[in-house]
Amino acid sequence: MNLTIFQCFHWYNTPEERLWVFLQEKAGYFAELGITHVWLPPAYKSAMGAGEPGYAVYDLYDLGEFDQKGSVPTRYGTLQEYKAAIDRLHEAGIKVLADIVLNHKLGGDKEEQIPVVTVDAENRKKWISEEHWVSAPTLFTFPGRAGKYSDFIWDHRCFTGLKLNDEIKLIRHEYTDKGWDDVPAQDRGSFDYLMGCDIEFRNPYVREELKKWAVWYREKVGFDGWRLDGLKHISYDFFPEWLNATGEIFPQKPLVIGEYWNGDMEPLNNYLEKTGYCMQLFDVPLHFRFFEGASRLHEFDLRTIRDGTLMHTKPEYAITFVDNHDTQPKQSLESFVGANFKTHAYAFILLREQGIPCVFYADFFGASYHDGGDENNQEKIVIEKVSFLEQLMRIRKEKAYGPQSDHFDSPNLIGWTRQGTDDSHTGCAVLLNTGDTAELSMEMGQKNGGRKMVVAGNNDLSVTLDEQGKGNFTAQGNIVTIYVFQD
């Protein structure tokens, strides 16, 4: 069966939604849709307790078990509910991907007096102060956990830098003698620092603790693979070493997905090469092609939709997606694909041979929330669910198999066919149209000659293939049209 990933959250899920319980209830439904993997949100305690999605990491060992940062549960529920959700998903035949956020920590328990230098925010290799001492929240003792599972104490030597009074500080100790760590992204001189207390991966004790934690985490709850956050802020050598050290904890080779946020192929190719192709990457360039398609619509040349993407150049390493929690409205990487192109984009990732697609929670279920920075001036945001998305997922599960033939002939109309397997019910023909109703001649293979195909959801529109398996397919105006074999 085709692999399909479902991102089980968005940025604005609330504690009241009890996500872990919700997923227990939906596991069977997800399996019915053909979902083979789910990506769960960060399950460990945030510095803001239940008030943040989990990316402001406080305690990696607190999975909703300890009274820390104002609550026992995380935003999504308790440890018991988390384990029950994973168990139920496994019973439904679905594998679970854990979200791994190792770039930073926030919410230190105590302050230390530490030596720092202030750096230029736009060129972080440039010092703009002499070394001086400051009081900083860099001591993490986790008093609510009281040493259970790990007695490792994080102090300032476990971190490279932090932000104080809106100034970025490089912490001075034996591991930072040469400055910031050598990370993939060199924006602003070095993009080692992102937020909070930036973890120092040159400290061997930190590396060993993070390996130990990974083994503990997998043994504790039994997930099946990793989604790795913020790759461009972490040195090239860390994750290959970390994955190698944790590989034996899985009975089967895990699916490993990395998030390297860049719309150009060169940095993604470079990362894959320098890390020995030890993971697959989210196809960020393809997301931006979709964003441009929605923004320009009729002026966008559909024939270029896959240009400069992982899906096209390294499909075996491509995790394709339309949107996620970072691109949704009001988020830091906002680039939300408009509703006028959303179905086109999902058809492109779900019904093609290349890449493994990831479906976004808010696109599937819809979402409504308020945000805007100023508490007195909150904007209401409504994300409508993509109405045809469930049907696209079912077509992927049941029909989208066999050799693929592309027909990228027109700026406003492209199509492709999947000829199917020996199972006569498989196979489909897909047309993406941003113009008026038109026809496109495509072939389904000689083995399908003489068969009748109908539009999914509209049996009144059909085409009968000739003896060679060719047919003239009508593409309805401005929408996606999918033909399947008439049973």
Distance CA 479, CA 473 (A): 14
Instruction: Give Cβ neighbours of residue 396 (< 8 Å, ≥ 6 apart).
Output: 2, 4, 34, 350, 351, 357
Distance CA 335, CA 106 (A): 27
Distance CA 396, CA 389 (A): 11
Instruction: Give Cβ neighbours of residue 327 (< 8 Å, ≥ 6 apart).
Output: 287, 333, 334, 335, 336, 337
Q: End-to-end alpha-carbon separation of the chain, Å?
A: 20
- Of 59, 229, 292, 323, the catalytic one is 229
Specify the amino acid at residue 215.
V
Catalytic site includes residue 99: no
Please check whether residue 271 is in contact with residue 236, taking contact to mean a CB–CB distance below 8 angstroms. Answer: yes
Please check whether residue 418 is in contact with residue 403, taking contact to mean a CB–CB distance below 8 angstroms. Answer: yes
Q: And the tokens for 11? A: 């940025």
Q: 181 phi and psi, to 5 degrees?
A: -65, 155
Overall size of the chain counted in residues: 487
Alpha-carbon radius of gyration of the chain: 24
Distance CA 256, CA 270 (A): 17
Catalytic site includes residue 375: no
Please check whether residue 161 is in contact with residue 171, taking contact to mean a CB–CB distance below 8 angstroms. Answer: yes
Residue 440, helix vs strand vs coil: strand
- Of 65, 259, 323, 363, the catalytic one is 259
Q: And the tokens for 283? A: 């196809």
- Give DSSP secondary structure letters for 112-135: EEEEEEEEETTEEEEE-S--EEEE
The residues assigned a catalytic role are 229, 259
